[in-house]
Structure 1
Amino acid sequence: MVQPYTHEPFTDFSVEENKRAYKEALDYVKSQLGKEYPLIINGEKVTTDEKIVSVNPADTDITIGTVSKANQDHAETAMEAAEAAFKSWSKWDPEARANVLFRAAAIIRRRKHEFSAWMTYEIGKPWKEADADTAEGIDFLEYYARQMVELKPGIPINSRSIEHNQFRYIPLGPGLTISPWNLPFAIMCGTTVGPMVAGNTVMLKPASNTPVIAYKLMEVLIESGMPKGVINYIPGSGSAIGDYLVDHPKTRWINFTGSKEVGTRIYERAAKIQPGQHHLKRTAIEMGGKDTIIVDNEADLDLAAESILYSAYGFSGQKCSACSRAVVHEEVYDEVLEKVRTLTENVSVGNPEKDSTYMGPVKDQEAYDKIMEYMEVGKQEARLVIGGEGDDNTGFFIQPTIFADAAPDSRIMQEEIFGPVVAFAKAKDFDEMIEIANNTEYGLTGAVISNNRAHLEQAREEFHVGNLYFNRGCTAAIVGYQPFGGFNMSGTDAKAGGPDYLLHFMQPKTITDQF
């Protein structure tokens, strides 16, 4: 039995030594910017003519790296490599597979600030957000390795005097991981190494905004002893290679994190049986959220304001778990709104290289334009309290924004904005708060701030989300502590960082030996 894992601690940047170490990491990574990165297929580096250019969203004149772009021929070669590697990798002792992850975690832990600094440059993460992202990636490596060791003997089942019965898990085969840009190390790492340590082989298609940090994980896994072909790094467009591999008859599973539009499309395509396909494809699909913090009239209002602030504006609101709706009891509505407005006034927006920056840019021009369109929608539907402005002259910066007096069925209360925007709605009692909180197509995260235990117990049963938090914000789930995933159109609720996550990428086999 392996020891339980205590999650990777977050860095305290009030300590001068830690602050100095992060600045040194930023300087080092800055010296590495602008390099070219190949595909990695069957352990071989493959350079292509067509490229993906990764740019700094805080300063678009800075190129993070130029990455080779895979086409369908590369995708097919990656599938062949994954299929061949599966024959031996699936037979490795689970503890040996786990040791690759344990070593990778140790290497990244020693280079933690370097990995975080890559995200500060590549996707505009402030220090605290980047540090948490790297820590979560380390957690996934450690946690899934331990889970695999525990699953190695299978699950005890009954036997009789005339027989011995076994119930054990075997891997599925080659599969596809499509990872997002918003947690470009943590989610990319977890959705790749979870299926991998379970004995599967992987085609990794990272987000086009963040391919360099994914390449850095590949370097570490190779250094850690991962055999050729076990993970094949193939950044490329969804239409060119994503659809091809989703449809491929040899693809056994698809692990996707991203938008509802893409996720539902993958879910539909994966259900179709292709010529030569002899299995049903497994899907683990995590999509979006429209997440609510409820504040009743018996809450700690300072705690409520702080919880709304960091849940709404952490990483510029670009988290599927972000608080984009605050539903507040009418008796304390004005007071809570004012407290959040006052805190929001002090949010520093700027270049994430500076340790004083609370909120950096949004990811790119497309995101900036979409969020600014929602600002105009919000001004028509509700009352602008603060923010509503942006600046895309050098990077993609948007001011943290509050809309008040929003109707529960308004667009800004229903549609996922994925930016630093929170809408406030008023409710007359707790039943109405729950009703409003549940009135979206999503069901990812939610929080209740209250000192009324009866209200918390009511929410425990009636607030329909995959991750529900009491007296804290609705973001920042920790691997192994708060397994993460949502209901309804938030996805298949595969519960990343949970005790049964690996089972989505394995199949149980019963063996009876009769005497």
Structure 2
Amino acid sequence: MQYGDFFYPMPANEPVLNYAPGSPEKLALKKVLKQLKSEVADVPLYIGGEEVRTGKKTSIRPPHEHKHLLGNFHNGDAIHVKKAIDAALNAKEKWAGMPWENRANIFLKAADLLATKYRALIVATTMLGQSKNPYQAEIDAACELIDFLRFNVHFLSDIYRQQPVSGAGMNNRMEYRPLEGFVLAVSPFNFTAIGGNLPTSAAMCGNVVVWKPAHTQLYSAQVIMRVLKEAGLPDGVINLVIVDGPVLGEVCFEHPDFAGVHFTGSTGVFNHFWKTIGANMGKYKSYPRIVGETGGKDFVIAHSSADPDVVVTALARGAFEYQGQKCSAASRAYIPSNIAIEVKKKLVAMLKTMKMGSTEDFTNFINAVIDEKSFDKLEMYIKAAKKKGSGVKIIAGGNCDKSKGYFIEPTVIETTDPKYVTMCEELFGPVLTLYVYDENKYEETLALVDSTSPYALTGAIIAQDRYAVDLAVNHLRNCAGNFYINDKPTGAVVGQQPFGGARGSGTNDKAGSILNLYRWLSARTIKETFVPVTDYKYPFMLEK
């Protein structure tokens, strides 16, 4: 029985703690970091109500200190994926039938637990497991994840209240059902918040979920599961599996109850998912929802009217916060000739002030890249730039060292070729490539920006001339799903800048907005006629 129309108003964004010297949050965080470094975590799979430990362990080590053992995770196989699907489907009917206010309050409680009791833990595990400095971990693992949970409750509440018009003598209503089957959530290493959002946004809508986090995010992912369980999430609603991607796909994409995938990761993997799902369409009960946020080759273009200090700061933060391991990170920059010398000089000077090292030293701005595979790939591009010779040079950084951790120095490459490889390919690391253009060829350069990359995720225009801003907004309309004016192309906030891009960057379903939640719902229209007609004849037929 429903006893009221329960609505959840728009929340405020979670305040960002600053971890200033002597602050309570800094003292609490350092205490948890010390405790975690003294323990060895044992991370299981979560299937139904069971913590599954297979005994097939892989070590978890900080990317910035790979000799230290943080813990181990247990590897599963195809059998565990099948069990996770069964657990999800067994939980489905009861979960979908739970009144909305009870479903909603589980996620609101989880948000409050993350904001209080578990805040230091979720930040610390992100710092150690993913090599994020305290500020980057705070805005991600605490604030953004809390915001996803609270704002999604509001957005879904808003959807449920959207009802059709009813004519005379009838009532029309709309039901927003969960999808028929289970949803697969596949999340990346770089944002703990994405790891939390992909499964919970679908589950909030009444769906049941099989969740595969990146292996390099499992240290913080298991905290999310602990929080959800403490918040009252029923067993089987979200099941965390630890398996290799091909094993996951082979089981999930062959299953008749596969209802959709919520994905963030590489464009290549997403394309493979799409192709496999398409080939298996005859096996499914319904058309699966395919939602993905993938790669980016994000740009900053400065106009001749730009303030050089604004340009430099946007590049320094946009390209090198979290070692450039954001799908939104500035990776290519177009600098007009009239301010190029000043911009390069100030940027090089600024980078020299950036300290690099462990996340536990709060004075470090730069930490390690996620793993050896990423390190080797980035080093390859840097070495190639050093050997290139004419037209390509490294003007800042370029040093790489993996003896203690996977450290890539913030690196700036300058090229005279706007189609040089590092201007076109996604690197996903602290490497920025600059191209200096003729200040009188601004419009031609806008066309170059639009045509250089297959991606369309984020971008920024830096200009004081309002006509130049307007020109960029219009010319670059389709090459960035998130576009910034006089700012860096990173840092989207839930409820303020819904995030997602098109072209090779994904389906643009805008995480952090009402648009994303529609994808996890299946609407049913119900019309009830109060006094049914009893004769088939219409008035026009009465003519004699």
Both proteins in one fold, TM over 0.5: yes
Q: Indicate if the aligned counterparts of 1:290 and 1:444 stay in contact, CA closer than 8 A.
A: yes
Q: Indicate if the aligned counterparts of 2:254 and 2:283 stay in contact, CA closer than 8 A.
A: no
Q: Indicate if the aligned counterparts of 1:95 and 1:149 stay in contact, CA closer than 8 A.
A: no
Q: Does 1:392 align with 2:402?
A: yes
Deviations along 1:435-467, one digit per CA (max 9) or x if unpaired, are 222121000000111111112122222212100
Q: Indicate if the aligned counterparts of 1:38 and 1:68 stay in contact, CA closer than 8 A.
A: yes
CA distance in 2, matches of 1:103, 1:433: 49
Given candidates 173, 184, 188, the residue that maps to 1:180 is 188
The answer for the alignment partner of 1:401 in structure 2 is: 411
The answer for the alignment partner of 2:539 in structure 1 is: none
The answer for the alignment partner of 2:514 in structure 1 is: 499
The answer for the alignment partner of 1:288 in structure 2 is: 295
The answer for the alignment partner of 2:238 in structure 1 is: 231
Q: Does 1:99 align with 2:112?
A: no
| Percent identity between the two aligned chains | 30
Structure 1 residue matching 2:344: 3-state secondary structure = helix
CA distance in 1, matches of 2:250, 2:492: 31
CA distance in 1, matches of 2:354, 2:171: 64
Moved more, 311-320 or 421-430: 421-430
Matches within 5 A, 1:399-438: 399-428=409-438, 429-438=441-450
Q: Does 1:446 align with 2:454?
A: no
CA distance in 2, matches of 1:255, 1:374: 31
Matches within 5 A, 1:302-341: 302-341=309-348
Q: Does 1:10 align with 2:4?
A: no
Partner amino acid, structure 2, of 1:507: S
Q: Indicate if the aligned counterparts of 1:253 and 1:282 stay in contact, CA closer than 8 A.
A: yes
Q: Indicate if the aligned counterparts of 2:481 and 2:499 stay in contact, CA closer than 8 A.
A: yes
The answer for the alignment partner of 2:41 in structure 1 is: 35
The answer for the alignment partner of 2:523 in structure 1 is: 508
Q: Does 1:140 align with 2:144?
A: no
Q: Does 1:69 align with 2:75?
A: yes
Deviations along 1:40-92, one digit per CA (max 9) or x if unpaired, are 11111211132232211111111222111121111111111111111111111
Given candidates 132, 157, 160, the residue that maps to 1:152 is 160
Partner amino acid, structure 1, of 2:354: V
Partner amino acid, structure 1, of 2:444: E
Q: Does 1:196 align with 2:203?
A: yes
Deviations along 1:330-363, one digit per CA (max 9) or x if unpaired, are 1111211211111111111111111000010001
Q: Indicate if the aligned counterparts of 1:271 and 1:280 stay in contact, CA closer than 8 A.
A: no
Structure 2 residue matching 1:202: 3-state secondary structure = strand
Shift of 1:275: 5.4
Shift of 1:301: 1.3
Given candidates 213, 216, 234, the residue that maps to 1:209 is 216
Moved more, 328-337 or 224-233: 328-337
Matches within 5 A, 1:439-478: 439-463=452-476, 464-478=479-493
Deviation >4 Å, runs of 4+:
none
Q: Does 1:344 align with 2:351?
A: yes
Partner amino acid, structure 1, of 2:151: Y
Deviations along 1:92-134, one digit per CA (max 9) or x if unpaired, are 1222111010000111111212211111111111111111112
Q: Indicate if the aligned counterparts of 1:52 and 1:208 stay in contact, CA closer than 8 A.
A: no
CA distance in 2, matches of 1:117, 1:420: 22
Structure 1 residue matching 2:215: 3-state secondary structure = coil
Greater Rg by CA:
2
Shift of 1:151: 2.1
| Runs of at least 5 residues in structure 1 that lack an aligned partner in the other structure | none
Two-structure CA RMSD over aligned residues (Å): 1.4
CA distance in 1, matches of 2:480, 2:517: 22
Q: Indicate if the aligned counterparts of 1:70 and 1:241 stay in contact, CA closer than 8 A.
A: no
Q: Does 1:167 align with 2:174?
A: yes
Q: Does 1:299 align with 2:306?
A: yes
Distance 1:486 1:60, change over 3 A: same
Moved more, 428-437 or 139-148: 428-437
Given candidates 271, 279, 282, the residue that maps to 2:278 is 271
CA distance in 2, matches of 1:256, 1:127: 26
Partner amino acid, structure 2, of 1:292: F
Partner amino acid, structure 2, of 1:481: Q
TM-score, structure 2 as length reference = 0.92
Q: Indicate if the aligned counterparts of 2:281 and 2:287 stay in contact, CA closer than 8 A.
A: no
CA distance in 2, matches of 1:15, 1:141: 30
CA distance in 1, matches of 2:16, 2:249: 34
How many residue pairs get matched?
512
Partner amino acid, structure 2, of 1:176: L
Moved more, 211-220 or 432-441: 432-441
Shift of 1:15: 4.5
Shift of 1:501: 1.1
Partner amino acid, structure 1, of 2:408: I
Shift of 1:406: 4.1
CA distance in 2, matches of 1:52, 1:99: 35
Structure 2 residue matching 1:507: 3-state secondary structure = strand
CA distance in 2, matches of 1:209, 1:373: 22
CA distance in 2, matches of 1:216, 1:6: 24
Q: Indicate if the aligned counterparts of 1:247 and 1:274 stay in contact, CA closer than 8 A.
A: no
Shift of 1:273: 3.0
